[in-house]
Structure 1
Amino acid sequence: MDLGFRGEVADFYHRFRRGYPPAVIDSLVEMFALTTDDVVVDLGCGTGQLTLPIAERVRSVVAVDPEPDMLLRARRAASEHEVTNVSWMVGSDTDIPTLGTLIGDGRLGAVTIGQALHWMRHEELFRAVVPFARSGGGVAVVTNGTPLWLQDTAWSRALCGYLEDWLGSKPTRTCGTDDASQRRYRDSLIAAGYDTAVVSVDYSDELSAEQIVGGVYSALPVARIPPAEQRPRFAERLGEVLQPHQPFVEQIQVTILIGRIP
């Protein structure tokens, strides 16, 4: 599946997508009782925001993404941080049966999905993981806050209006962060035989106008990013729209939906 998150998008993604607070990694380790004997699969790994900190806590991580450019940038990040226990794989959720066969029945510590499950067939994925997860292992669906254009702040509403004018349609994609999607994911985990739990980590952050522009670019397919020659004007106009609503403070809730094999 070509999502268009290649080329320059990978660089924007790496630079402007926020990582995860240490408390999120601690929660994953605690909930699945992960140790240095465990293998974790990080699906939809992007440029490694979740992959790299998890790799520091387990034996190895298999990081999977459909976009080679994302994996290339993630490899560079791993090298920069001297992380050597990650295998990078072009693939998707439909490759879990093959990966599970290689890892072995009942040996997988966890499958993590960081704000990417909305691109996947979650019901089939949850069922496919069951034979390969060890007791107490399972699936973690991790969201990393509401999209920039859907937050309950004046600057976010101004951003949404600007993007609606520019794109020709109102941006409404929640990326699986909305309550209805979370309920659907949890119901599917229960139906597949998992015990479920939810952990939340809350924090705040103040963004610059540059970070908001970069965050928008990181969320768009490469074909929808403004051409290079138009970007200064795009950023200038957006800055003018946002300026009356400073400071640009986010209240971020990281939600970790856990599905554990009894």
Structure 2
Amino acid sequence: MTVDPHAFVSAEDHYARFRPRYPDDLFALLADRFGLDSTQHVLDLGCGPGTVALELASMVNTVFAVDPAAGMLKQGQALAVEHGIRNIRWQQGDSNALLSLGLPPLDLVVMAKSYHWMDRVQVLDDLDGITTEQAGIIILSAGPPGTTPLPGWAPVVADVRAAYLGTTRRAGSGTYPEPTETYQSTVERSPFSTIEVVRFDQVAVRSTEQLIGLQLSNSYSTPAQLGERQESFEEDLRRALLAYDPSGRYEESIRTEALIATR
């Protein structure tokens, strides 16, 4: 699968503001598991606005934050400046051209909700040639589809979105095909076939406006996808959510599954 560099155009600010942070326990686990001591070179592949890169920066020598979308990189650079982080190298690039990025030997590679956009077999083969022998490959996701119950407000959002954009899951100028096998099955056939899966659960409570902002961060309902109908979409979604729960507080159980793969 080729990543569409335009899939998240116009969503960058919403992505940075409304997507949930990964749990602190995840980064503590990575630091302990891979002995992160400010000497490592780490790749955040498909970094978006630096959700992972910004957290890892204090633990390693350099984070190479790579993404095909210039807007996401710009957003991440601004956040790094805001937080005084100087050891992230932001680089526009695609997983299909991984070997041409001029990266040093890597001690850790993280793909956070980006692996599904890639040629999943090829990227693991390519990483085999540019990682150290003890390197770890970390794939973050919500787990296999259907394993985490949807919150009660999800059908409300889905109905409003379908009224504006249809039921096909869009992604930039195309659509998103679901994987035909689990990530674990794919990784088990790769050079990184020793696998550990660790799960983290959080509860997020969002306001009405935060939940609307979250929808605008998705590739299938970006402001660019909605165009001139964005304002009316927001109004209709706000009305539907408040009809569902007038409190304006919407709870969601968030599962983060870390697939940790080594040779």
Q: What interval of TM-score do these two structures reach, taking the shorter chain for normalisation?
A: 0.7 to 0.9
Q: Which moved more, 1:161-170 or 1:137-146?
A: 137-146
Q: Return 5+ residue gaps in structure 2 as ranges.
A: none
Q: Which moved more, 1:156-165 or 1:242-251?
A: 242-251
Q: Return the match for 1:112 from 110, 113, 123.
A: 110
For residue 75 of structure 2, give the secondary structure of its aligned residue in structure 1.
Answer: helix
Q: CA RMSD in A?
A: 2.6
- Counterpart Cα distance in 1 of 2:62 and 2:209: 35
1:44 Cα shift? Answer: 0.7
- Does 1:209 pair with 2:208? yes
Matched positions, count: 249
Cα deviation, 1:159-200, whole Å, max 9, x if unaligned, reads: 111111211225499x89x9x76x632122221122111011
For residue 82 of structure 1, give the secondary structure of its aligned residue in structure 2.
Answer: coil
Distance 1:138 1:57, change over 3 A: same
2:91 alignment counterpart: 89
| % identity of equivalent residues | 26
- Counterpart Cα distance in 2 of 1:31 and 1:124: 26
For residue 77 of structure 1, give the secondary structure of its aligned residue in structure 2.
Answer: helix
For residue 165 of structure 1, give the secondary structure of its aligned residue in structure 2.
Answer: helix
1:245 Cα shift? Answer: 3.2
- Does 1:121 pair with 2:119? yes
1:218 Cα shift? Answer: 1.1
1:237 Cα shift? Answer: 1.2
- Does 1:249 pair with 2:251? yes
Normalising by structure 1, what TM-score?
A: 0.85
Q: Is the 8 A contact 2:9 2:224 kept in 1?
A: no
1:224 alignment counterpart: 225
- Does 1:64 pair with 2:63? no
- Does 1:131 pair with 2:133? no
Cα deviation, 1:189-212, whole Å, max 9, x if unaligned, reads: 221122111011111011111112
Aligned AA for 1:13? Y
- Counterpart Cα distance in 1 of 2:19 and 2:140: 14
Aligned AA for 2:214? G
1:58 Cα shift? Answer: 0.5
Aligned AA for 2:85? V
Higher helix proportion: 1
1:198 alignment counterpart: 197
- Does 1:25 pair with 2:27? yes
- Counterpart Cα distance in 2 of 1:90 and 1:222: 22
1:50 alignment counterpart: 52
For residue 59 of structure 2, give the secondary structure of its aligned residue in structure 1.
Answer: coil
Q: Is the 8 A contact 1:65 1:89 kept in 2?
A: yes
Distance 1:188 1:6, change over 3 A: closer
- Counterpart Cα distance in 2 of 1:209 and 1:153: 14
- Counterpart Cα distance in 2 of 1:140 and 1:25: 11
Cα deviation, 1:102-156, whole Å, max 9, x if unaligned, reads: 41xxx31111011011110110011111122223312111125899xx9523211
Q: Is the 8 A contact 1:151 1:157 kept in 2?
A: no
Q: Is the 8 A contact 1:5 1:222 kept in 2?
A: no
- Counterpart Cα distance in 2 of 1:58 and 1:197: 22
For residue 13 of structure 2, give the secondary structure of its aligned residue in structure 1.
Answer: helix
Q: Return the match for 1:154 from 148, 152, 155.
A: 152
- Counterpart Cα distance in 2 of 1:186 and 1:145: 10
For residue 35 of structure 1, give the secondary structure of its aligned residue in structure 2.
Answer: coil
For residue 138 of structure 1, give the secondary structure of its aligned residue in structure 2.
Answer: strand
For residue 223 of structure 1, give the secondary structure of its aligned residue in structure 2.
Answer: helix
- Does 1:165 pair with 2:146? no
